[in-house]
Structure 1
Amino acid sequence: MKFLNTFLLFAVGLALGQAQPAYREALWKEVAEAEKKGRPKTAAAKLQTIYDSALKAGKHAEAIKALAKRITHEGAVQGSKPEEKITRLQDELGKVPAEAKPLLETVLGHWYWQYFRQNRYRFMQRTATAEPLGEDFTTWDLPRLYREIDLHFTNALADGRLKTIPTRDFADLLTKPTLPENYRPTLYDFIAHEALAFYTSGEFAAAKPEDAFEIKATDPVLDSLDKFLAWNPQTTDTASPHLKAVKLFQDVLRFHRTDSVSAARVDADIARLLFGKNSAVGEGARDRFIESIRDVAENEPGQLSAWARFHWATALNEKGELVEARRVAIVGRDQFKDSRGGKRCHNLIAQIEAKTIDVTTESVWAQPGAELSVRYRNITEAHFRLVKADWTAARKKQFRVSSSAQRRALLQKTPVKTWQHSLTPTADYKQRAEVFDTPHDVAPGFYYLISSPRADFSDQNNRIHYTPVWISNLSLVLRSRANQLEGFVLEANSGEPISGANVSLWIGNRPENSRERKTATDEQGFFNFSKGPREYYGDVLVRNGKRRVGTTSRNGFWGGQLPEEREEQQIIFFTDRAIYRPGQSIQFKGVAVKWHHRKNEYDII
């Protein structure tokens, strides 16, 4: 269960858990009609009526839904500024009954959090100041905004009555549950998990103080439930989001420790272990997580065992123990295949068992010596076809085979060469690489190398790769510098330069707009073209008698200017560390240097 989208936070189309009088139900329909017609002012007025009526009738969930939607629509009339929406909701906080405040505090905390996410770059660029900050939260620094969000979640959870209020009583305010209701049985559980999402998000790491609280891999956060509940972390950083998460997890788990139905406790315990794994520093965190999550999975008889097994298997997969990860996930899938954990286990098994092949090779096969590198997993054969292709047509498509029509056309061509290689089985499900020689009995020219794990090259449930290659005893070397494109044409096997080779260049940022330019190599096999500073992409084709060679990908060429030949100076600073916390002293030193490239002069000033 979670809050709906911030800007349409409480949608009207949800099934209501609290009965509504007929006239309020009619008003909700009128609100929906006004929204459909794009009339936010009309919708806001009707929502005010609903709010007043629901509040008077003690229907707090319905009232808060109407209030939040009304503020959103009033904001749309004012120009849809998120900061105005937050200010309006803050003003309403002192007006609502005490029973409604915890949820309103939670909504307000979410809106502040959402505002940070939308303006993250601004807060990250601000430094903390010793001056008191005003009421305008748009000017706050990161620590001040964190304290405000923390305050609202803390205030929401301070109401002890929340643990006695069933979540279903506030169904107006929640989306249709994606989890069973007994995972979040009370309003306290719902708000606590919303607050935990904030404290464990890590989004306010940049606001850490110098004495920041850190969870170590050896701490009880990754221990058994009993040891975790007995843990009393000691730190001077009492505002730490990690510390607050630890304390809140402990409170939630104590609350449900003796429940006759274990779902809420086990779900929170799994979340606690995941938090520990993701936030603990030092070696061994993943191994301790695996040990603890295994105990949860093996001792929980219900469907949450599949959820625990998914995270257990995921950690094993990350560790590289794919065989064991698959075994663990299969048990979770087979025991509770329709549960959240069972479905995730199914997906993880499919990921581990997935057949993959990736073929890389040199762009020009000069005989002998060219090689194929095959990286693969879960296949035992690699099949290959060489298909003759038109280089000019391929150039216009940037050598990509992206459309189904292109793929079909290449697969329907009669290959000039077919072959296959047997591959060593990957019983450990890990990727393996093998290298093979390319065929020696193929005529020179431009081809597509088509590779497939299956002999029939079917495009159904198959991974097919298309790689453009030249077979030629010519070698083309390119470089770009300033507004020049330069290169050499050489004999591939001996490196001898080829003079008089015809070189064509098509240059332009779009292949369809590029123009052909021609030149020839000199006695050193050298050629060059001038180009504009904004001409970044191009293709080259070389003709030498009947021999051909060219590029096989869209080449990027630097378009800058050569630097002016003059003396230059620079100061290079070194600091004693890469990152600092607020208040730490920065130690640095600098080296001043000067140089003149043309005169080959380099000195320390």
Structure 2
Amino acid sequence: MISLIVQTAVADGAAQSIYDKEWQAVYELEQKGKPRSAIDIVNKIYERAKADKNEAQMIKALEYNIRLSSRFEENHFEKGIAYIQQELPAFSQPSSQVLHSLLADLYLGYYNSQRYLILQRTNVVDYELNDMATWDQKLFAEKIFGELNKSLENKTLLQNTLASVYEDILTKEDSLNIFRPSLFDILAHQALDFYKNDEFMSSRPAIRFELDDPQMLDIADAFVRLELEEKEDFSMKFHALKLYQDLLAFHLGDKDPAALIDVDLSRLNFNYDHAIFEEKDKLLLHTLEQMESKYIDHEGVAEIYYEIALQYDRSGNKYAPIISDEHKRDKAVAVQYCENAIKEFPESYGAAQCKILLKQIREKSLDCLLDYASLPGKHILSSLEFRNVSQLFLRVVPLDPAEDRKQRQNWNNDGKLKEYRQLRPVKQWSVELAVDADHNTHRTELAIPPLTEGYYGLMISDNPAFEESKGVISINNFWVSNISYISKEQDNGDLMFYVLDRAKGQSMPDVKVQVYEEHYDNNKREYLLEKTGTYTSDQQGAFIIQATSGNSNRLVLDFMTDVDRFTSPNFFYISKPWHQPEKAVRNTHFFTDRAIYRPGQIVYFKGIVIERLGEEHKIVKNEKISVGFYDVNNQLISEIELQTNEYGSFSASFTTPVGTLTGRMRIQNEYGRHYISVEEYKRPKFEVVFDPVKGSYKLDSKVTLSGKAMAYAGNAIDHASVKYRVVRNVYYPYRYFRWGFYPQTSETEIAFGETQTADDGSFSVAFTAIPDRSQPALYSPVFNYTLMVDVTDISGEVHSAQKSVSVGEKSLLIKLDLAEMVNRDAVEQIAITTTNLNGEKE
């Protein structure tokens, strides 16, 4: 078969120049924006290729026809699909497989263009529908899946067909790609792109296919021998793994392992992302290190270096210096692997990836935290957070508050930095940072030398020229001042201020305060400050700014003495409070005999009308009201006129509609509304109840949770199906939050399965309380295991329930019954309560 295809390609070589000329004309018309004229030539190419039996050119013409039609055809996806289906019988294998792959791509394109509408549709029952406008997500997935399956039929033929045979329809990069040497590689990877799409993995049946076997991350030879069992009807993950097995088995014997390395790394990444077993990070790293040893002399090892480096970089993000030095050196290890890849195989794809990762790991960062105001003549403490910086250069420059505000308002960072560099510093020095090259973010504290009163800018950089192009720069503006203040809003909207000595807290009299109001100048397109008043603090350091209107004004305060000055860091808003005249407000409180009804049932309701004026409430007697009944589409079904009695109440009834859309309906009048549900429902016959969790459990021990399915009539629901799953979450005691550290956690499924209820309706589920060993034991993590069950009786009625149990290294919680603030002389005794992790008293 290969020889026939190759001979066809050679035989057609003499006519290839004709195709080239015609395609060049198509490209030129496309560039000129004339798709209809281009299609005319494409159709001629198709007919010529059909006569020449040049199926590669036929496929290219089909694909180009559809692409050009999309420029002006409204329903181009539907028409393109119909066009390919019409021409498909004219193609032989393996060309027909290529068309099936193209059909899958068109169905997916239609789905993506209509995703918003499709996701709102309920499941389609009639699977013989031909109108895509009525399909739901599941039907699209099945249709695409079916076309992709057809594209991979006759696997042997596809594997023996070189990709270069179809170079007319492949990009130059694809046709020469050593990672996709055969047509099977190209079509299989097309299918994998769909199988790995998380959007089509959204279905969550109780029993489903999961990547729960550590062999999923084993070396390729072991993985291809792994027996996979499809536990659900339509598992995208299962089919992705099966296809990975086919690809790996196909390439295991290759002389050049380039394609094998590429697909194996893709498989490992996919399996890692979806694995639910423990210590998957260690397993992945172990397998990558085995691959490194096996392919140490092949260029493909550079990609393996990159994947190992990526793993170390990710684990380096877990470094928490407040806990331990674990993962401290991981990013440095990642750098070493990247450097090896670039050094050994500088032109490889892996080296290119490593260069990007290296740039990210080595990226510098610098951030300084500084109080807005500090005392004169005292050292000023600042907190510095930095990464990949070993030396700092610091300058303190004097600033004019008005000019600096203008620069910051214009967001002109370049102009601001240039201006700061030109200022003569009042202090400048350098600091050597005693840190190793671990590429982690570190934190330290720096002392700024004492300064006199004034407004300053602190410039910090890793280069003495303070040029942003050569490194990183941090700028903080701050005041050095003895002046501080506190403020309080009065009931009438006035603002009262107390000016205080920043060091002693004593009142500061005779401080001059200039008040500025901010407003936007439309002509200048900037915010301006307009002086609106001057105040002087009294002997108690107080002054009051009166609210003069109902409009909210943004104020800035400038405090001054003969030797000191300070500007408020934030705006103050001042306005006269607006008091709306109180009006009587009426409310109707509705009551119905039930919350849910069937179509055609009578809804008995009652209402009470109450009028409120301020704090006074009274019933509304003998007043006529109109009550309406509305369906789910907000259409009035029925309306009745009623009158409240001497107790302010009324009552009546409505009949729920039959033959209309069911759902949420409402009863309402002018003063209130009440919602009810109208559904074609069956009364529940049984319930699922869990037994209380007694005692405590240990990590890595067996945990058994039990429950019962009991009918409301009192009898047991025996031999009912119980589908279950157990998920684990992690939480930490509250006290650790104050340090600003919260370890990374995620929900993990640790067990799932199916059992049955016994004769007495009871059931039990046992699982092992496996901890997340990546969580730091120092902070006493508590692992919460939630069992979720779906119980289905013989008639098909389903009820769900869930029960949680918490397990940790420490089994007791101690709680002090004590207020946040107490008078120590009044405390005679303190109540202490001890409970286990499940809240039961011990």
Q: 2:358 aligns with which of 349, 352, 376?
A: 349
1:396-443 per-residue CA deviation (whole Å, 9 max, x = no partner) reads 444576453442232122222213333221332221100123332243
1:163 matches 2:159: yes
1:325 matches 2:334: yes
Secondary structure of the 2:479 match is strand
1:514 matches 2:510: no
2:555 and 2:89 mapped to 1: Cα distance? 70
1:558 and 1:48 mapped to 2: Cα distance? 74
Structure 2: which amino acid aligns with 1:48?
A: N
Distance 1:184 1:548, change over 3 A: same
Secondary structure of the 2:346 match is coil
Residue 449 of structure 2 corresponds to 439
2:472 and 2:349 mapped to 1: Cα distance? 29
The structure whose RCO (Cα within 8 Å, separation 6+) is larger is 1
1:427 matches 2:450: no
1:478 and 1:19 mapped to 2: Cα distance? 91
In terms of mean alpha carbon deviation, does 502-511 or 265-274 score higher? 502-511
- Aligned partners of 2:66 and 2:76 also within 8 Å: no
- RMSD of aligned residue pairs (Cα, Å): 4.1
2:579 and 2:411 mapped to 1: Cα distance? 40
1:544 matches 2:560: yes
1:524-546 per-residue CA deviation (whole Å, 9 max, x = no partner) reads 5665879999x99x673423345
- Aligned partners of 1:381 and 1:453 also within 8 Å: yes
2:486 and 2:366 mapped to 1: Cα distance? 29
- Aligned partners of 2:164 and 2:175 also within 8 Å: no
- Aligned partners of 1:395 and 1:539 also within 8 Å: no
1:387 matches 2:381: no
2:448 and 2:183 mapped to 1: Cα distance? 67
Distance 1:512 1:93, change over 3 A: same
Residue 52 of structure 2 corresponds to 57
1:97 matches 2:113: no
Q: Could you say which structure has the larger radius of gyration?
A: 2
- Aligned partners of 2:167 and 2:175 also within 8 Å: no
Distance 1:171 1:545, change over 3 A: same
Structure 1: which amino acid aligns with 2:450?
A: H
1:69 and 1:78 mapped to 2: Cα distance? 14
1:318-346 per-residue CA deviation (whole Å, 9 max, x = no partner) reads 11112222222222221111101012223
Structure with more of its chain in strand, by fraction: 2
Structure 2: which amino acid aligns with 1:40?
A: P
Matching of residues 96-245 of structure 1 within 5 Å: 96-99=90-93, 100-130=95-125, 132=127, 134-160=129-155, 161-177=157-173, 181-216=177-212, 218-245=213-240
Residue 247 of structure 2 corresponds to 252
1:389, CA displacement in angstroms?
3.0
Q: Which runs of 5+ in 2 are unaligned?
A: 1-11, 317-329, 590-672, 675-689, 691-726, 730-746, 748-787, 791-796, 803-842
- Aligned partners of 1:75 and 1:84 also within 8 Å: no
1:250 and 1:129 mapped to 2: Cα distance? 33
TM-score, length-scaled by structure 2: 0.59
In terms of mean alpha carbon deviation, does 454-463 or 131-140 score higher? 131-140
1:471-527 per-residue CA deviation (whole Å, 9 max, x = no partner) reads 33344779999xx89795643445567786332232459893435353567875665
In terms of mean alpha carbon deviation, does 541-550 or 343-352 score higher? 541-550
Structure 2: which amino acid aligns with 1:544?
A: M
1:460 and 1:21 mapped to 2: Cα distance? 53
In terms of mean alpha carbon deviation, does 111-120 or 244-253 score higher? 111-120
1:185, CA displacement in angstroms?
1.0
1:242, CA displacement in angstroms?
0.9
- Aligned partners of 1:214 and 1:280 also within 8 Å: yes
1:221-250 per-residue CA deviation (whole Å, 9 max, x = no partner) reads 101222211211224214211111100000
Residue 821 of structure 2 corresponds to none
TM-score, length-scaled by structure 1: 0.80
Residue 426 of structure 2 corresponds to 416
1:426 and 1:37 mapped to 2: Cα distance? 60
Distance 1:123 1:252, change over 3 A: same
In terms of mean alpha carbon deviation, does 33-42 or 540-549 score higher? 540-549
- Aligned partners of 1:502 and 1:519 also within 8 Å: yes
1:519 and 1:91 mapped to 2: Cα distance? 81
Secondary structure of the 2:463 match is coil
Residue 513 of structure 2 corresponds to 501
Q: Which runs of 5+ in 1 are unaligned?
A: 1-16, 589-605
2:445 and 2:383 mapped to 1: Cα distance? 5
Over the matched positions of the two proteins, sequence identity in percent amounts to 22
- Aligned partners of 2:291 and 2:304 also within 8 Å: yes
The number of residues matched between the two structures is 560
